[in-house]
Amino acid sequence: MTRKQRYLINTSIRYLVLLLVGLVMIYPMLWMFGASFKADNNEIFSSVGIIPRKFSIKAYIEGWHSTEYTFLTYLINTYKIVLPKVLGTVISATITAYGFARFQFKGKKLFYAILLSTLFLPQVVLNIPQYLLFRDMGWLTPVLSYFPLIIPAFFACDTYFVFMLVQFLRGIPRELEEAAKIDGCNTMQTLWYVICPVLKPSIVSAALFQFMWSSNDFMGPLIYVKTVAKYPASLGLRLSMDAEVGFEWNKVLAMSIVTIIPSLIVFFAAQKQFVEGVTAGSVKG
Amino acid sequence: MGKNSAAHPGQTSYVKKNEGISDAVLKKRGFRYLLKNNIGFFYILPWLIGFAVFKLYPFASSFYYSFTDYDLFKDIISFIGLDNYKQIVETAKIRKAFHVTFRYAFMTVPLKLAFALFIAYILNFKIKGVNLFRTMYYIPSILGGSVAIAVLWKFLFQTDGLINQILSNLRITGPNWLGDSHYSLLVVSLLRVWQFGSPMVIFLAALKSVPTDLYEAASIDGAGKTRQFLKITIPLITPVIFYNLVTQLCQAFQEFNGPYIITNGGPLGSTTLISLLVYQNAFKTYQMGFASAISWLLFLIVMTLTIISFMSQKYWVYYSDEDGR
């Protein structure tokens, strides 16, 4: 076998593996997408094909109205939680990261060690006492029920993002900031006029991840949001699943797709930032 | 990291400058001076407050609750010592949940990482359309935590779902994946393995950063592809393997959505992970004290494993910058 032949065989094996794995990754989702347009369970469970015999959006219409409130309510609720949470995370994480990455002060090492160790603190341990804390604060009433989900974000409680931004900041040279200092900027101005513009891609990255994670969040709302009118999409979907008596899969799948479409759009609009964000904490250039 | 350490001398000289100033002057400068010298502290203050209120206090109080019979429907909390922990050890159902959680983690994490590394390795060859493939593999991990994907998973593994339809085309009768306690845990962990995208992206970035001249030198010395992979690639990316291992392990021990939605812990408790058990005890039956004790045991396990991983670093993780970062 010549060198060239071997190269060809190797390359084609690689592509074959990649395509097969890609198929395993994507096909279930495509099948789900197809199934949401299929007429009934019979058709769904009788073929592995994606394309329905007859396109019908009945499942979407019925699914949309399958619970007490329409899915519009749930989707709006989701973003009533997610958007403030993203905003809070971005502001607090940037400020905290700036403090850690650019200043010396007493106890900095200790505080940073604490910050890193909270990365490994399982949320499961905190759920119960946090619930009791929020109860004592009076945040479990239907009106305030988003507070337990949103307010901690304004205090940089998702420490992963602080860690991520510190890593990014360390890679940014300080010359600009020094120039700003000479020009008479105080640290606050430096943060706003110098750091934020330079750090913008990473901040966007953090915002995107927080957006995804909090849109997907299920356990948080499950614990704190008790009134159906306030349900975010994740709980709404679960509700429509339980409400389904004969379990018409096409309806449930249709609503599943409705809940992930915003996330998918965001993902495709900002793929690059996701890839950069995920490698931030781990790989040093 | 070099940049960072280069910047430090500047900082220390800044501090040194002040050493020559007499105490009287320092005192006169007073609070404003203190503020200016420690201004960084004020930037981390929001986080510090958040940490104290939303993390440290809950963390400490859950430790205390774990020694009480705290029940949301009872007014009096009494201290009962180690009774909760005793009860945990004596209850077969809970022992089983710990067992299941370990099986879940030790099944999911190695499979997921091996798969992520394998795919990243292939993608690292000069492949046309790398970005397309990467996107394809990454989508499941971006959406994977959502209820929608858990619903999809439940749907795929129905007795006549896609998986069994494909198997029956191959003349195999698929099992009742979700109803049979032999398979249910496998189904739930496959959902996690399927989301190998984010460790894969991290591995891929690491593989790209391995200097190519090392491979050239090795191939001149007659090392084959496998040997190069084992002797050059693996050692050089151990920091990233370590990072992925620790993060995935932490995640696996906290998994909730998948088993809760797909099987709700069943059948026969075969997918009841600790996190589900904590949820049931705390928010269904409101036995806060008992649930706190379970969660603390879980915490101790995760902490022990994390510490073991960190301590094991020196035996297998290779950091190229020896200054210890």
Task: Return the bridge partners of B79, or none.
Answer: B68
Helix (H, G, I), strand (E, B) or coil at A201: helix
pLDDT-flagged residues of chain B (< 50): 1-17, 322-325
Q: What is the pLDDT tens value at each position of chain A, 285 positions in all?
A: 688 888 889 889 999 999 999 998 999 999 888 888 888 888 888 878 888 888 888 889 888 888 888 899 999 999 999 999 999 999 999 999 999 998 988 889 999 999 988 988 888 899 999 999 999 999 988 888 899 999 999 999 999 999 989 988 888 888 888 888 888 888 888 889 888 888 888 899 889 999 999 999 999 999 999 999 999 999 999 888 887 666 788 888 999 999 999 999 998 888 888 877 777 655 543
- Which of A20, A23, A25, A239 is best to mutate for the B interface (most B CBs within 10 A)? A25
* Whether the Cβ atoms of residue B94 and residue B88 lie closer than 8 Å to each other: yes
* Pair A22, B133: CB distance under 8 Å: yes
Q: Which CATH code is given to the segment(s) A67-280?
A: 1.10.3720.10
Residues 221-250, chain A, touching B (beta carbon < 8 A): 222-223, 233-234, 237-238, 241, 249
Query: What is residue B79's three-state secondary structure?
Result: strand
User: Residue A175, Cβ neighbours under 10 Å: how many?
Assistant: 8
Cβ atoms of residues B89 and A157 within 8 Å: no
Q: Do A106 and B41 touch (CB under 8 A)?
A: yes
DSSP state of A155: G
3-state secondary structure of B237: helix
Domain over B83-316 is classified CATH 1.10.3720.10: yes
**Letter for the amino acid at A97?**
A
pLDDT digits (tens, 9 = 90+) for B114-128: 999 999 999 988 888
pLDDT at A83: 95
Question: Exposed, middle or buried: residue A148 (CB in 10 Å: 0-12, 13-18, 19+)?
Answer: buried
Phi, psi for residue B68 in degrees, rounded to 5: -125, 170
Q: Where in the sequence of chain A do the CATH 1.10.3720.10 domains occur?
A: 67-280
Please report, in angstroms and rounded to a whole number, the separation of the first and last CA atoms in chain B.
6
First and final C-alpha spacing in chain A: 39
Token output for B164 = 């069994």
Of B46, B135, B299, the CB nearest to A122: B299
Structure token pair of residue B295: 């969660």
Give contacts of B244 with chain A, Cβ < 8 Å: 282
- CB count in 10 Å sphere of residue B21: 11
Give the C-alpha separation, B269 to B181, whole Å. Answer: 8
Retrieve residue B297's tokens: 């045991």
CB spacing of A122 vs B206 below 8 angstroms: no
Contact between B196 and A25 under an 8 Å Cβ cutoff? The reply is: no
The tens digit of pLDDT for each residue in B253-290 reads 989 999 999 988 888 889 999 999 999 999 998 899 99
CB contacts under 8 A, A 162-221 vs B, are: 162, 170-171, 173-174, 187, 212-213, 215-219
Where in chain B are the domains? 17-65, 83-316
Instruction: Say yes or no: A15 contacts chain B, CB-CB below 8 A.
Output: yes
Q: Which two tokens stand for residue A200?
A: 């913008």
Closest CA to A15 of B7, B123, B54: B123
Residue B275 tokens read as 């996190």
Q: Give me the amino acid identity at A79.
A: Y
The closest alpha carbon to B193, from B305, B260, B113, belongs to B113
Of B147, B143, B256, nearest in space to A74 by CA = B147
* Helix/strand/coil for A122: coil
Cα–Cα distance, B242 to B41 (Å, whole number): 31
What tokens does B97 get?
Answer: 């949940």
Q: Tokens 């759920």 map to which residue?
A: A127
Q: Give pLDDT, residue B320.
A: 66
Contact B101, B274 (CB under 8 A): yes
Residue type, B310: F
Sign of torsion over alpha carbons B277, B283, B285, B291 = positive
Sole residue written with tokens 């959006």: A57
CA separation, residue B64 to residues A61, B79, B84, B292 (Å): 50, 9, 12, 9
Tokens 């700036």 map to which residue? A98
The residue type of B313 is Q
CB A137 within 8 A of CB A225: no
Residue A110: how many CA atoms within 13 Å on its side-chain side? 5
Kindly write down the DSSP assignment for every residue of B80-119, as one continuous string: -TTHHHHHHHH-HHHHHHHHHHHHHHHHHHHHHHHHHHHH
Residue A117 to residue B29: CA distance in whole angstroms: 36
On chain B, the residues whose CB falls within 8 A of the CB of A115 are 47, 51
Amino acid at A236: G
Minimal Cβ distance to A95: which of B46, B134, B158: B46
What are the beta bridge partners of residue B68? B79
Place of tokens 């949401």: A36
Instruction: Please give the pLDDT value at position B5.
Output: 41
Contacts of B170 (CB under 8 A, 6+ apart): none
Chain CA centroid to CA B80, Å: 33
Question: To which residue do tokens 């959680």 refer?
Answer: B101
Cis peptide before B267 (omega within 30 of 0): yes
CB atoms within 10 A of CB B115: 17
**A11 to chain B: nearest residue by CA?**
B127
